[in-house]
Amino acid sequence: MKAGVILVLGFLSFALVVPPSSASDDRRQKWWKWPSTGKSICSSVVLPLYGNVYPQGYYYAQINIGHPPRPYFVDPDTGSDLTWLQCDAPCVHCTQAPHPYYRPNNDLVPCKDPLCASLHSGDHRCDDPGQCDYEVEYADGGSSLGVLINDVSLLNLTTGVRITPRLAIGCGYDQIPGPSYQPLDGVLGLGKGKTGIVSQLHSQGLIRNVVGHCFSSRGGGFLFFGDDVYDASRVISTPMSRDYRKHYSPGYGEVIYGGKATGLKNLLVIFDSGSSYTYLSSEAYEGLLYLITKELSGKPIREAVDDETLPFCWKGRKPFRSIKDVRKYFKPLALSFSTGWRSKTQFEIPLEGYLLISSRGSVCLGVLNGTEVGLQNFNIIGDISMQDKMVIYDNEKQTIGWIPANCDRPPRSDTIIF
């Protein structure tokens, strides 16, 4: 396996919350409790994003939790619901983090709470009625074990109003890092489930049930909760799948290369902001690689076997400095989704959305083999392919939409307190 495997996997983190098991019983801890308040307002929340796809390998946001509020850096992950922080409860197993571990209060979410039930499939057992245990597992094999806590989150609305809603978050006191582990304080769950941060804010009447992000190819960007930060008339959208409801999925798609159909179709696609790179199932990946290799045949560019940044890199006669230097060698990609009878929508992926320039001056393919990392039936649109677009997950209209955008400046940034 190449030395760059941690970078290659990035944040491959769409998640499955698993019910309590006997194997994890001895990792659980006991807790205690107090009450909460809230207030209603309709607006949006915008959070700055930091980081990049390369060379850092991930984007992250800052959230402020607790009383007094303390900052935490978290992975904004549309592939999972639960927001959790590494927690000094005390911590049994925690990883390196940029801030001191979260110190929990005593306001526990009880086992019979609907939020707790939504984390577990079927009839979950309550070993301790006073607390809600959770265990979440990620696609790369990493996991977090902990308990749900209610705590205050400090948020600034685009109207300029500051709010402090109480939200249920995970106090993760036992983490097993996967190969795509990054040194952050936790995960910001942006998925569709009831425990998702956006669902909780919506249930309190604070925002519409809409979440989106804008990753800049130059690094940074912004994340938003609510629907008043974009022009809905400009959004290109496709319905969320009715057959696959767990994640943000438009259903089945087809790869388009250079504006032409490739025959690489019937691919179940998930939009996952927790994955740095885009992943195709083995057959589609090999098919795309074949098309790219064929396109490069006879051109002054060859495989850079000595560059281990990503599995496939190519070099020219002299080092490439930007994607502009390789435009004559590669063609744009797209994924085509059916939006109705004989109607299709294309998610366009320009060269910057699937290629990157390595530190060695090679151009590398940012689409990876998902089958090799355990994604048997899924194809992931990751951060690299969503750069320089505002991507919008509208849980009220049940659509996924996108608009080409300048992600360097957050909307209404004069009202955002950093």
Tell me the backbone φ, ψ of residue 270, rounded to 5 degrees: -125, 135
How, if at all, do strands 84-86 and 166-176 pair? parallel
Tokens encoding 234: 């400009």
| 228 in Cβ contact with 43 (< 8 Å) | yes
Q: How many helices (H) and strands (E) does the chain have?
A: 6, 28
- Going 57 to 70 to 13 to 214, the CA torsion angle's sign is negative
**CA distances, 244 to each of 117, 136, 181, 250, 307 (Å):** 20, 20, 27, 9, 38
* DSSP structural state of residue 326: G
| 319 in Cβ contact with 211 (< 8 Å) | no
Query: Is 107 a known active-site residue?
Result: no
Query: Is 272 a known active-site residue?
Result: yes
- Choice among 75, 77, 151, 185 that is catalytic: 77
CA dihedral defined by 117, 123, 127, 132, rounded to 10 degrees?
-10
Tokens encoding 142: 């990493």
The closest alpha carbon to 50, from 41, 42, 61, belongs to 61
What does the alpha-carbon distance between residue 29 and residue 401 come to, in Å, rounded to a whole number? 42
Tokens encoding 404: 């080409």
| 241 in Cβ contact with 188 (< 8 Å) | no
**CA distances, 150 to each of 174, 178, 214, 388 (Å):** 19, 27, 29, 35
What does the alpha-carbon distance between residue 186 and residue 264 come to, in Å, rounded to a whole number? 36
Tell me the backbone φ, ψ of residue 356, rounded to 5 degrees: -140, 155
**How far is Cα of residue 378 from the mean position of the Cα atoms in its chain?**
15
How, if at all, do strands 251-257 and 260-261 pair? antiparallel
- Choice among 81, 272, 307, 388 that is catalytic: 272
Q: What amino acid positions are annotated as catalytic residues?
A: 77, 272
